Chains A and B, each alone.
Chain A
């Protein structure tokens, strides 16, 4: 256990030192990956642990992005206030969606999230005076205590620290009674009810939490990329988010991290065959669903099982003690 902790610290230290070794392009890529990690961790709590399907994750990312951007641009608020504001609004709207969605599941839940996605898209486009409409918004670099993060290295560190924080929070929630409640609601709502777990309220909490993570990531994305526009927050993006957690392994935080990082890096690896990017994405998603239902983490677990003689009692990281 000690060894593992030390390895993690070492890894984090190395990652933090990245700006010293790589060019700003790769820093940018790393920042995108980290934003996606935050998305994946949040979505995993909702869909992987709580089993609620959501096709509108990109919307919450967009809500967070636009809120943060507008707070910065129109209200002149510093980033350390604009970001939490974005998170807050996102979480609120997540709860607003979670409330009516609490009694729906499966198909109907997917549909209502789809409806929400389209609705948000329309709202963003139809209010160009506020959101810049389809022309988008330019977003300045984060402004910490009056100091603007123009340096790429500092921006990277900023995103890095926040990402690690988000992962820790995600992990804590998963290990808390709420994480257990999420899993209970997914696997057996009836048993959960019988144990006094308020299923509908738990679903709502899951939605709100997911929205908070997505909104947080959206706010960061706006600062990293410097520009946001509506197409970024449509159904394709939502599907990409789902790909992160499916490929990584539903329910597992390490899986979500791995999935997000790999699938952010993938388009870069496929640089030479740019146009094929989308097709490959789709095939990876489909392939994972058909052949690796438990994702990469499941694959790792199965390989571990094959190595030991007897059937494994350890299943993929569902908060093992």
Chain B
């Protein structure tokens, strides 16, 4: 049974169809790539999955639960996480605080408990801070833990973004252009991290990219979007050899 199942998804803005009748299924534990040139509708699909836009029609099922049109934070609470193309860190707080914030939905103490520093709150904070420290170690961010997130180099920020998304313990993580703006070396390291996440932590990954080369090394299956429609779907090697896919990319930097 697919962990994420999209059926006949359509998203329109005014008269323009950003996404038209897209269907795809992602199995649990899979590393799935969604690729397409700019304007293909990748971001719209992501926004629809995460609840930031309401699709006009179609169904999106996550772990057998219909999530199309559901509020974003509720979708997140079902175990769906995401990272952002332009990072979206909490810039003037430290890296540590950013990652700590990721644990929000796993903490349960109320405002009163927090305001009065009741034992329940203190315990939760202690545990969570410890978990945050471990996550920082795991992502090699100890050197930057106290630095304001907004001042760090872009590559490091992207790492923080992923670490923070993981703090929420997602079952499926949507990564929006995770290596854009990175150097070769950084991109390779990021890819290795992602592979490790999937293998060791069993997190299903959906990687949105416009760079086929990245997905070649990472994804098990790739879905190609073009002008809001599903063009082809299959193993990366197949997609690279697919005539329609090649034509769609003609003139686009690979």
Q: In the complex they form, do A and B come into direct contact, defined as C-beta atoms under 8 angstroms apart?
A: yes
Contact with A along B73-111 (1 / 0, CB 8 A): 110110001101000111111101100111111010101
Residues of B within 8 A of A (CB): 50-52, 71-74, 76-77, 81-82, 84, 88-94, 96-97, 100-105, 107, 109, 111, 114-117, 121, 124-125, 128, 146-148, 151, 164-165, 167-168
| A to B contact number (C-beta, < 8 Å) | 119
CB-based contact A172/B115 at 8 Å: yes
Residues of A within 8 A of B (CB): 169, 172-173, 175-178, 180-181, 183-184, 187-188, 190-199, 205, 209, 251, 313-315, 318-321
Contact of A199 among B73, B128, B148 (CB under 8 A): B73
| Closest-CB distance, B191 to chain A (whole angstroms) | 22
If A178-B114, A318-B93, A318-B97 touch, does A196 touch B88 (CB 8 Å cutoff)? no
CB-based contact B101/A193 at 8 Å: no
| Closest-CB distance, A287 to chain B (whole angstroms) | 23
CB-based contact B84/A169 at 8 Å: no
Residue of B nearest to A180 (CB): B101
CB-based contact A319/B146 at 8 Å: no
Contact of B102 among A178, A195, A199, A319 (CB under 8 A): A195
If A173-B111, A193-B73, A196-B105 touch, does A180 touch B97 (CB 8 Å cutoff)? yes
CB-based contact B114/A194 at 8 Å: no
Q: List 23 A-B contacts (CB under 8 A).
A: A169-B116, A172-B114, A173-B111, A173-B114, A175-B125, A177-B125, A180-B101, A183-B90, A187-B89, A188-B88, A188-B90, A191-B90, A193-B51, A194-B50, A195-B164, A196-B76, A197-B101, A198-B71, A251-B92, A313-B147, A318-B92, A319-B97, A320-B146
| Closest-CB distance, A302 to chain B (whole angstroms) | 14
Which label, helix, strand, loop or mixed, suits the secondary structure of the A interface? helix
CB-based contact B114/A196 at 8 Å: no
CB-based contact B104/A187 at 8 Å: no
Q: Besides the contacts A191-B89, A198-B74, what 19 more A-B pairs have beta carbons closer than 8 Å? A: A176-B114, A176-B125, A177-B103, A180-B101, A181-B104, A183-B92, A184-B104, A188-B89, A190-B84, A191-B164, A194-B84, A195-B104, A195-B167, A196-B104, A196-B105, A196-B168, A199-B73, A318-B93, A321-B96
| Closest-CB distance, A286 to chain B (whole angstroms) | 23
If A177-B107, A196-B73 touch, does A313 touch B114 (CB 8 Å cutoff)? no
